[in-house]
């Protein structure tokens, strides 16, 4: 009986973790998509005489958001693999 209770508790914890991962991933994905799209638009529409530092900062924001997007996808892949 104790083993079954422990197993049920562990399964509930895994389900809760997976549910949280999906919610966080979804919300994070929306924000990252907005950052990626906006940074791309800013880069394309910056005037030619824009300070080079500004262009580099926007590229840096885009690169960081790309990295976060890859990390998000890696987390989803791990959860998918664990789930079978």
Tell me the pLDDT tens digit for each residue of 4-35: 999 999 889 888 888 888 888 888 999 999 99
Single out the residue of 42, 31, 40, 29 nearest to residue 76, CA to CA: 29
* CA end-to-end span of the chain: 27
pLDDT tens digits, 39-78: 999 999 999 999 999 999 999 999 999 999 999 998 888 8
Q: 49 near 40, Cβ under 8 Å?
A: no
């Amino acid at each position: 009986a104790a083993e079954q209770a422990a197993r049920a508790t562990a399964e509930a914890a895994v389900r809760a973790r997976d549910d949280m991962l999906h919610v966080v991933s979804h919300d994070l994905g929306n924000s990252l998509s907005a950052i990626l799209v906006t940074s791309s638009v800013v880069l394309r529409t910056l005037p030619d005489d824009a300070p080079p530092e500004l262009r580099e900062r926007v590229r840096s924001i885009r690169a960081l958001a790309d990295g976060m997007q890859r990390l998000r996808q890696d987390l989803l892949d791990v959860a998918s693999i664990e789930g079978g």
